[in-house]
Amino acid sequence: MTTKKMAIIATKGTLDMAYPPFILASTAAALGYDVQIFFTFYGLQLLKKDLSDVKISPLANPAMPMPIPMPVMVQMLPGMESMATMMMKQKLAKHGVASLEELRDLCLEADVKFVACQMTVDLFEMDKREFIDNVEYGGASMFFGFAGETDICLFV
Amino acid sequence: MKFDKEFDASGMSCPLPIVKTKKALADMESGQVLRVIATDCGAVKDMQAFADQTGHTLLSNTEEGGKYVFMMKKK
C-alpha cells in the first residue's frame, strides 16, 4: 500500500482559523498520511514560538456565538479582542479541546512537515528567530513539488 | 475481555482521542489489545474510521456508565 499524502495551505492567523490546519494535519498523520502544511501570509503567525498573539475578534465575525448580543459599536472598544480570546480559550479548555501549542507539538511529533513561505517572511520583515525550529523555508514551487502528488489538498 | 494496555481519553475532544490512541499503539506489539475509554461521542465513529484506515481491528465498542469503551487490536 502506498502512503497517502495530504497538503494544507494555512493562510489565517486567528485563533479560530488556526485550529483546522493543526486538527486535520495531526489526524491525517495518525491515520498514516504523509502531511505537509504550507504557511503563508497570516498563517505564519502559527509558527511563532509564542502563540499569545493568535487571537479571535468578534468584529466582522457575526457567526461567533456570544453569551450576550453585542452591538458592533461595543465590539470595537479596546480590550474586547483580548476578552473574546480569553473567553474562547476557556471554552476550548472546558470542552477538552487541545491548545494550539499541544496540537502543533502533536503534528511535529507525528512528522508533519511545516513549510514557511519565504516571500511572506520577507514581505512582513519577520524575524525567523521568533519561529519554532522545525520549519523549512520555501516558495510556491516547493509546495507544488509535494502537493502535486497528494490525495488531499486543502486551502484554509 | 483481556487487554494489554489502557488509554483513558475521558474529557478529550477531537482529534485527541484518535491522535493519542495512535501514540498509545506505537510501543505495542502486533496482536496486542489496547483498551480506550472516551467521553467524546464523536469518538464512536472516529475510532471505527481510524481502524478501517490504519488496518488495526476494532474488536468491540461498548458504552459503560456514560463512557465509550473500545478494544483495539494492533495490526
- The architecture in CATH of the region B5-73 reads 2-Layer Sandwich (3.30)
How many CB atoms are located within 10 Å of the residue A50 CB?
A: 9
At the second CATH level, the architecture of A5-54+100-155 is: 3-Layer(aba) Sandwich (3.40)
Length of chain A: 156
The pLDDT tens digits for B23-48 are 999 999 999 999 999 999 999 999 99
**Residue B1 Cα, gap to closest chain A Cα (Å):** 25
Q: Cell for A55?
A: 487571537
pLDDT of res. A71:
87
- On the question of pLDDT at A155 being above 80, the answer is yes
Q: Give the pLDDT confidence of A27-41 residue by residue, as tens digits.
A: 999 999 999 999 999
- By C-alpha distance, the chain A residue nearest B12 is A96
User: How far is the C-alpha of B65 from the C-alpha of A121, rounded, in Å?
Assistant: 52
- For the four alpha carbons of B24, B25, B26 and B31, in that order, the dihedral sign comes to positive
This complex has an ipTM of: 0.90
Q: How confident is the model at residue A1 (pLDDT cuts 50, 70, 90)?
A: low
For chain B, the residues whose C-beta falls within 8 A of a C-beta of chain A are 11-16, 18-19, 21-23, 39-40, 50, 53-54
Quote the CA–CA distance of A114 and A38 in Å, as a whole number. 6
Find the CB nearest A26 among B19, B21, B39. Answer: B19
Domain layout of chain B by residue ranges:
5-73
With a CB cutoff of 8 Å and minimum separation 6, the contacts of B19 are A26, A27, A29, A30, A106, A110
The total number of residues written for chain B in this structure: 75
Residue indicated by cell numbers 502486533: B30
E strands, chain A, are: 5-10, 34-39, 113-117, 135-138, 152-155
CA distance A114 to chain B (A): 18
- Measured between CA atoms, the residue of chain B closest to residue A107 is B19
Residues in A closer than 8 angstroms to B22, CB to CB, are 30-31, 110
For the record, the C-alpha cell of A14 comes out as 486567528
Q: What is the mean pLDDT of chain A?
A: 94
Residues A107-135: tens digit of each pLDDT = 999 999 999 999 999 999 999 999 999 99
- pLDDT value at A22 more than 70: yes
Q: Which chain B residue shows the shortest CA-CA distance from A19?
A: B15
Contacts of B50 in chain A (CB under 8 A): 30-31
Give A92's pLDDT tier (boundaries 50, 70, 90): very high
> Among residues of chain B, what percentage have pLDDT more than 90?
95
Report how many Cβ contacts below 8 Å link chain A to chain B: 39
Question: For position B29, what pLDDT does the model report?
Answer: 97
Round to whole Å and give the CA distance between B26 and B43. 19
End-to-end CA distance of chain B: 18
Which of B4, B14, B60, B75 is flagged as catalytic? B14
Alpha carbon distance A49, A66 (integer Å):
30
Nearest in space to B9 (alpha carbons), one of A145, A97, A2: A97
User: Taking all residues of chain B, what is their mean pLDDT, rounded to a whole number?
Assistant: 95
A106: which chain B residues are within 8 Å (Cβ-Cβ)? 19
Active site residue B41: no
Give Cα separations from A141 to A41, A112, A115 (angstroms): 16, 19, 12
Dmax (CA) for chain A in angstroms is: 57
Q: How far apart are the first and last CA of chain A?
A: 29
Q: What's the pLDDT score for residue A149?
A: 95
pLDDT digits 0-9 by tens, A45-78 = 999 999 999 999 888 888 888 878 888 888 889 9
Is the preceding peptide bond at A58 cis, omega within 30 degrees of 0? no
Binned at pLDDT 50, 70 and 90, residue B68 comes out as very high
